[in-house]
Amino acid sequence: MSARRRLGILVAVGVIGLFACCGGTAAAFFIDGSDNSQSNASMASMACGGGGTLNPSGKLPEVDSLGDAQIHNAAVIISVGQQLNVPPRGWVIAIATALQESALTNLPNLGAANDHDSLGLFQQRPSQGWGTRQQILDPSYAARKFYEKMLAIPNWQQLPLTVVAQDVQRSAYPNAYAKHEPLATAVVNQLANNAGRAVGNLVNERCAQPGEVTASGWTVPVKGATITSGFRTAERPTHNGDDLAAPKGTPIHAAAAGVVTVVRCQASLNGEPYSCDQDGSISVQGCGWYVEILHAGNIITRYCHQIRHPNVVVGQQVTAGQVIGWVGDSGNSTGPHCHFEVHLNGDNSAAGAVDPVPFMNRQGAPLGAQQ
């Protein structure tokens, strides 16, 4: 499929970061618009949803600024996915793609404004073998054809949304799909019983384990971790993240697909540089070996105190669940752990900081037990 019209749509965006125990900043993007006043226990209990059975002709809830026709088309996409036993991750990818291609609007031929013979929700082209004009303008048919192409992509559930959408669509703007992932997840959560937070099939949806990706595109960064120090506690009011304690050498996974933007050793003692290839202490300042990743929706994650030079380089594209480094004790640290923070809107200052625990719960990827 060649270049096609691009209809704008407003999408809520956010940024996440993981910062050192000695400070940093954090914030969380709540896909469903909830505040963070619920207890961690109650949020964990509602973190993973189930797809249920969606009737596109029934009464549908409002989602963000989308109109009735857009919500109906999204419901059709989900319904077809359910009929084909496509996991919820596929629904998010399909809806994000339709948001980019048509703003979830079943577009006819727009004459001079049309991009070649592109039609419908996914701007599929009769001349490229997608079907007849009449077929493509049927949202159910169009969704089915999208899913058929998507399911033929090897390991599609582990790939970034942008990669999957581009493999199906062959767009002239391959990076444009990613910005719609947060809104697409919100739509799936609203229409399909929080299925955007789940991993697995339609019968047995559950929360993610490290390396497994939820429908929202997130995964647990450290397997079997215990939260030993929380976000901005009374004892540590400037602690802008959560400490995920695990044995040295435990793999650290990218929490979502994205691009590595920072790989750095940050450590000093008495104002002098301090090696990150050795254990730190309470006297050492800094994050130690750490990584930052830029994700869809302008979200940034940061992973601190790694045991040695991380397993990635700046500019590298990573997939959700990919091993980016290993738990260590470098920098301002008194025991092996990964310090994990969350930031919004590219703001990695203290002003943008919020607790990563509720954020990850809402993605269906709880961080771990709290001491």
Q: What's the pLDDT tens digit per position in 337-350?
A: 999 988 877 677 77
Q: Considering only CA atoms, which of 284, 317, 296 is closest in space to residue 304?
A: 284
Segment 66-85 mean pLDDT:
95
Residue range 183-203: mean pLDDT, rounded = 82
pLDDT tens digits for range 291-339: 999 888 778 899 999 999 999 999 999 988 999 999 999 999 999 999 9
Single pTM value for the model: 0.77
pLDDT for residue 354: 76
Confidence of residue 14 (pLDDT cuts 50, 70, 90): very low
Quick count: other Cβ atoms within 10 Å of Cβ 175?
10
Pick from 14-23, 90-99, 281-290, 316-325: least confident: 14-23
- The torsion angle over the Cα atoms of residues 239, 227, 313 and 351, rounded to 10 degrees, is -30
pLDDT at position 34, please? 34
DSSP sequence for 320-370: TT-EEEEBB--SB-SSSEEEEEEESTT--SGGG---HHHHHHHTT----EE
CA 317 centroid distance within chain: 14
Instruction: Please tell me the least confidently modeled range out of 3-17, 94-108, 143-157, 260-274.
Output: 3-17
With vertex at residue 51, the alpha carbon angle to CA 47 and CA 52, rounded to the nearest 5 degrees, is 120
**Mean pLDDT for the stretch of residues 2-6:** 37
Judge whether 135 and 154 are in contact, CB under 8 Å.
Answer: no
The domains of the chain, with CATH numbers, are 48-197 (1.10.530), 216-370 (2.70.70.10)
Q: How far is CA 179 from the centre of its chain?
A: 10
The half-sphere exposure of 143 on its side-chain side, counting CA atoms within 13 A, is 28
* Residue 45 contacts residue 65 (beta carbons within 8 Å): no
Core vs surface per residue 81-94: b (16+ CB within 10 A) or e: bbeeebbbbbbbbb
CA angle (124 as vertex; 259, 179 as ends), nearest 5: 25
- Read off φ and ψ for residue 365, nearest 5 degrees: -130, 70
Structure tokens of 193? 């019983």
Q: Is the confidence at residue 164, as pLDDT, over 50?
A: yes
CB atoms within 10 A of CB 246: 20
